[in-house]
Structure 1
Amino acid sequence: MSAMDVNDDYQDDMLDCDDDIVDDEPDYDSDGMDDEDDDDEEDDFDAADGFAPVIADKDVKKAYEVEFLVHSTDEIIEFQNKEIAHVAGILGCLPEHAATMLRQFKWNKERLIERYMEDPEGESEKAGVVVDTKKQPRFTVVNKFECPICCSDEEGLETLALSCGHRFCRDCYEAYLNEKIAQQGESRRIQCMEAGCRLVVDEKTVEMVVSPKVYEKYRNLLLRTFVDDSAHLKWCPAPDCIYAIECHVPQSALDEIVPTVKCKCSNQFCFGCTLPDHQPCICRLVRLWLKKCADDSETANWISANTKECTKCNSTIEKNGGCNHMTCKKCKYEFCWVCLGPWSEHGTQWYNCNRFDEKASVDARDAQAKSRAALERYLHYYNRYANHEQSAKLSSDLLQKTAQKMEALQSTSTLSWIEVQFLRKAVDVLLESRMTLKWTYSFAYYLKRDNMTALFEDNQRDLEVAVESLNELLERPIPGVADGVQAVNGHMGVEESIRDLRQQVLDKMGYVKSRREVLLTDTAQGLKEHRWKLNVDFKTGDMLD
């Protein structure tokens, strides 16, 4: 269990920063700001009068939304330093030793303190620490010392030994730490160079031995291990992003919700699997779907649906003509394409190609029919999935055209730059809704056919119609603006057409947002209520009959 699970101080420390809360406005009343008017209102509306507190709609979490916080590296380091100082004060040890033990317990300080009080020496040994403030590693010159690694025994040789007493020369220790940090990427459990010694090289010793550049990498690695050790913290997967996301959705709940979070860098992703946002499809289905799209399973389905095997040598044969008389090019065996029976017997008294009582022929035809049906079903969902994915990839062109339209609107009308932002917001809503539609098809592929699935497809269809309508409206040229030509009725005519377009886009954008919210809300509630019946075996990835 991570220290985040039980440490209430973590929440208190992190919540001190107003900027951490991404999707909520700051709660000014909770900051201790005095407001006499608020006090009077609280007296007028006492809880005993039956009045519930008023909560703004924007502050109410929707069924498909989750609580999360965004933390910078400076905030994480500040929290670590507080925890280290707290533990060092209680245990009476050096900060670097407290940090090593906290990393051993994955920053669960309550568990560390409890275990340490029960068995100080045992827990220190497990953590690789000797809690003795008098035994501080430092460079010293030992007369007639020979380094056991490089066998150097020159006069004035600087040496270093940890609390365990195993001594080596400075050059060997520096080379050892450089290899561990720069090459192997280790930081948390770099142990003494002596074989079998479990004593950990603490942070202060590393700083004393290595160069500033290597030490900086060492610090970054330690920071990453802190986030990686926590079940409720994950780094934003965007390139070069320095933020970590805190979300308290456990792994056991990932079949009931898609924990979508948004970093301060604007990257939106799933906290459960760190893939780009894939609402409303749960993580396990996403992994199965991506694997199905990437591997050769559907190639095998196509081969099964469009080819047959020679019944003698099992070579795969594709029919390229109208005649049913097939001759295998490999073994020259002749057979009937329809029933797979020997062509030599075709037309005899006992053999009839349209008979369906031969078990081998019946089984072959049934297997091919099932493969063809499975392939057609997969292609139905995949083509629609790929269509929305392709449309989203073309977003750069649409964004560029929209930016040009916004400049044209501003120069042609009296609208300000702020007022023409409705076009950019509409494009953002369009792209977000297309990504949602994309994943609805992978989700629908694994659903069993029942009434709930029909309702889901109705919501899916309504959103798709709204999205296509908004897309068409955004790509439509603006009369009197697109060609830089004034409208027939003059400047006032252009103004009226622009304002009419603005109202249409705002109305259509609002409708798309509402349909997306309806779909996501109903799907999220269905996951929590276990309304959706899935037609897949998660262990094998095979579809159920």
Structure 2
Amino acid sequence: MSSDEAENLYSDGSEAQEEIEVDDYKILDTASIESTMKKQIGEIEILLGVSEGVGRLLLQAHKWNKDSITDKFYDSPDRDTFLIESNIIPTDPQPFEEGEAECEICCETTELVGLDCNHRSCKECWKAYLTEKIKDGQSEIECMDSKCKLLLKDAKVIEYLSNDAKLIQSYRRLILDKYVQSNMFLCWCPGADCGRAVKSSYGDSQLITCQCGTKFCFKCSNEWHEPVSCHHMRLWVKKCGQNSETANWILKNTKDCPKCLAQIEKNGGCNYIRCTNPACGFQFCWICLKAWSVHAQAWYNCNSFDQAAEKTREKFRTNLDRYIFYYNRYNGHRDSLKLESKLIRKVEQQMQRMQARGMSFTEVQFLRTAVDTLRICRETMMFTYVFAYYLEKNNHSLIFESNQKDLEMATETLSGYLEQDLQTEDLSKLKQNVQDKCAYVERRRKQLMDHCAEGDEKGHWAFSE
């Protein structure tokens, strides 16, 4: 490999642009990340006296923790022992056999190439093997021999890819992905075709606004979900995927087997039901849910309301009902956000009319600010219902619900005003009303968020799973 190829082992040669720093995080382009990674690799290679490519394998194995590598290195009897234990060099290096021979993979007689372990194959078989590993997302690739754990150095991988530019680029991308994924202070922007990464000062949940316009949580890379934790947001997304499309249908069209609680759908006119659970098979009446044998007795009145039985059935439906309660409110605000473009068009038309009546472009921006404020408050309201779903009841949760109610009312008041009351002749009064409502809803949102943050700090919240 030439010196130029070695220089570009981990990059395509593009120059790093200026890092964009925002508050306590930085926006990095791909070239900047590559430059930082190469610097770390170079430092460890100089420190340990190893060749290019070895440093990257060692750093990846130790999650890019330089101290972890050096501690293990100095604890080893010698450098070779350390590299053998890291699967960088073989335990018993074999002299490489030169010349043509039969490839054990494809049975073609041709020039064979291989590693220091002397496991050899033809270049085409090596390329096919490496291609599959790269497609599987592996950037640390072991020898082709199934019993050998020796890792291929990055320079060797690129050599065996036979100048296939697309494959080499995929391999470099994998290396960069593993570097970012292994670093708790780095994450990729989830925006479509963005290619930028974010470097956080403390590597925890925080709102990130990328240059591409994508807003997301640094810790989980999902949309920003304050005040919900990443853990509960993952649980909620999973639960919605399982329940949201079927929950309403289940409530309307099924009943629980009185014995095993399996959900039963009635698909005929007869009220005689046999549980479809093979382990149960309980026979009961669809109307009163009593055993059919009891229901058939002359003394039993199916038309008599059994309050105790009804309470038992309600108990088993409580969790589903509770989920639907919070899901409907969560989804209501999400649906409203989807209609934001319609409100924006309406507001922009009003802004144009106001400019036609003598107001400047700057003066009418209060309306666009109001739409942005409304969007932020709806996003907050949406996630407060996820927060509330997992929140256990106590005195602090009652205060939360009160603050949530206030923000809900303020948000709907602002929304209604923007939707219905913009057509007025008194532009000064309109501006004052909109600004007053925006200021109030922002105060209510801050009050709610501050209370949630205070609850986290002081341990006031208790959550269910």
Give 1:521 deviation, angstroms. Answer: 1.3
Structure 1 contact 339–353 (Cα < 8 Å) conserved: no
Deviation digits for residues 92-148 of structure 1 (CA, Å, limit 9, x no counterpart): 2222222222222221122212322332223212333249xxx9xxxx994443333
CA–CA separation in structure 1 for the residues paired with 2:54 and 2:138: 18
Instruction: Give the equivalent residue in structure 2 for 1:397.
Output: 342
Structure-2 separation of matches of 1:438 and 1:367: 32
Q: Could you report, residue by residue, the CA deviation over 1:232-270 in whole angstroms, capped at 9, with x for unpaired residues?
A: 32222222121223346678xxxxxx5433333232222
Change (3 A) 1:69 1:86: same
SS in structure 2 at match of 1:168: strand
Q: Give the Cα–Cα distance (whole angstroms) in 2 for the partners of residues 190 and 459 of structure 1.
A: 55
| Cross-structure match for 2:64 | 107
Could you say which residue in structure 2 is the equivalent of 1:265?
212
Counterpart of 1:379 (choices 324, 332, 336) is 324
Pick the aligned partner of 1:145 from 82, 101, 111: 101
Aligned to 2:9: none
Instruction: Indicate the residue corresponding to 1:432 in structure 2.
Output: 376
Deviation at 1:316, TM superposition (A): 4.8
SS at match of 1:199: coil
Q: 1:364 to 1:434 in 2, by over 3 A?
A: same
CA contact (8 A) 2:273 2:285 kept: no
Structure 1 144/433 Cα, relative in aligned 2: closer, same or farther at 3 Å?
closer
Q: Who is 2:232 aligned against?
A: 285
Q: Structure 2 vs 1, CA of residues 439 and 370 (structure 1 numbering), >3 Å: closer, same or farther?
A: same
1:168 matched to 2:121: yes
Superposed displacement of residue 456, structure 1: 0.7
Task: Give the match for residue 501 of structure 1.
Answer: 430
Output aligned runs, 1:533-544, within 5 Å: 533-534=462-463, 536=464, 538=465
Q: Contact (CA 8 Å) 1:430, 1:467: kept in 2 or not?
A: yes
TM-score w.r.t. the length of structure 1 is 0.68
The aligned counterpart of 1:232 is: 185
| Alignment partners' CA distance in 2, 1:196 and 1:273 | 37
Using CA pairs under 8 Å that are at least 6 residues apart, name the structure with larger relative contact order, 1 or 2: 1
Query: Could you tell me which of 398, 415, 422 is aligned with 2:366?
Result: 422
The 8 Å contact of residues 215 and 223 in structure 2, kept in 1 or not, is answered as yes
Moved more, 331-340 or 70-79: 331-340
Answer yes or no: is the 8 Å Cα contact 1:346–1:352 preserved in 2. no
Considering only aligned residues, what root-mean-square deviation do their CA atoms show, in Å?
3.9
User: Structure 1 19/507 Cα, relative in aligned 2: closer, same or farther at 3 Å?
Assistant: farther
Deviation at 1:302, TM superposition (A): 5.0
Cα drift, residue 423 of structure 1 = 2.2
Aligned to 1:76: 33
The answer for the alignment partner of 2:88 in structure 1 is: 129
Higher Rg: 1
Aligned 1:113-512 pairs, distance under 5 A: 113-119=70-76, 120-130=79-89, 142-153=98-109, 157=111, 159-181=112-134, 183-187=135-139, 189-210=140-161, 211-247=164-200, 259-296=206-243, 299=247, 303=251, 307=255, 316=264, 327-328=271-272, 337=288, 342=295, 344-346=297-299, 364-371=309-316, 373-416=318-361, 418-476=362-420, 478-479=422-423, 497-512=426-441
Tell me, yes or no, if the aligned pair for 1:249 and 1:259 is still in contact at 8 Å: no
User: Which one-letter code corresponds to 1:223 in the other structure?
Assistant: L
Distance 1:333 1:110 in 2: 68
Say if 1:78 and 1:335 are closer, same or farther in 2 by CA, change over 3 A: closer
In 2, Cα distance between the equivalents of 1:244 and 1:479?
Answer: 45
Deviation at 1:334, TM superposition (A): 7.1
One-letter code of the match for 1:516?
R
Find the aligned partners of 2:88 and 2:338 in 1 and give their Cα distance. 53
Give the TM-score normalised by structure 2.
Answer: 0.79
Amino acid at match of 2:346: K
Instruction: Give a deviation string over 1:361-395, Cα, whole Å, max 9, x none.
Output: 67533312324555544433232222111101111
Asked whether the equivalents of residues 317 and 328 of structure 1 are also in contact (C-alpha less than 8 Å), the reply is no
**Distance of 1:113 and 1:285 partners within structure 2:** 38
Q: How far did residue 527 of structure 1 move?
A: 1.9
**Gaps spanning 5+ residues in structure 2: where?**
1-15, 275-281
Contact 2:180-2:188 within 8 A present in 1 as well: yes
Comparing 282-291 with 100-109, greater Cα deviation is found at 282-291
Cα offset, 1:460, TM superposition: 0.7
Give the alignment partner of residue 452 of structure 2, picking from 501, 516, 523: 523
Matching residue's letter, 1:185 = G
Contact 2:19–2:32 (Cα < 8 Å) also in 1: no
Question: Equivalents in 2 of 1:142, 1:333: separation in Å?
Answer: 81
The 3-state SS of whatever aligns with 2:444 is: helix
* CA spacing shift, 1:370–1:420, aligned 2, 3 Å: same
Provide the C-alpha distance between the structure 1 equivalents of 2:256 and 2:121, rounded to a whole number of angstroms: 71
Q: Give the C-alpha shift of residue 400 in structure 1.
A: 2.6
Query: How far 1:434 sits from its partner (Å)?
Result: 0.5
**Any idea what SS the aligned residue of 2:208 has?**
strand
Report the CA distance shift for 1:148/1:440 in structure 2 as closer, same or farther (over 3 A).
same
Distance of aligned partners of 1:196 and 1:376 in 2 relative to their CA distance in 1, 3 Å threshold: closer
- Contiguous gaps of at least 5 residues in structure 1: 1-15, 25-66, 252-257, 355-360, 481-486, 488-496, 539-545
Number of matched pairs: 431
Give 2:179's aligned amino acid.
F
Alpha carbons of structure 1 residues 208 and 405: separation in structure 2 relative to 1, 3 Å: farther
Percentage identity across paired residues of the two chains: 31
Partners of 1:316 and 1:198 in 2: CA distance = 54
What's the counterpart of residue 514 of structure 1? Answer: 443
Counterpart secondary structure, 1:345: coil
Q: For 1:20 and 1:81, locate their aligned partners in 2 and report how far apart those are by CA, in whole Å.
A: 20
In the TM superposition, what is the alpha-carbon distance from 1:478 to its structure 2 partner? 4.0
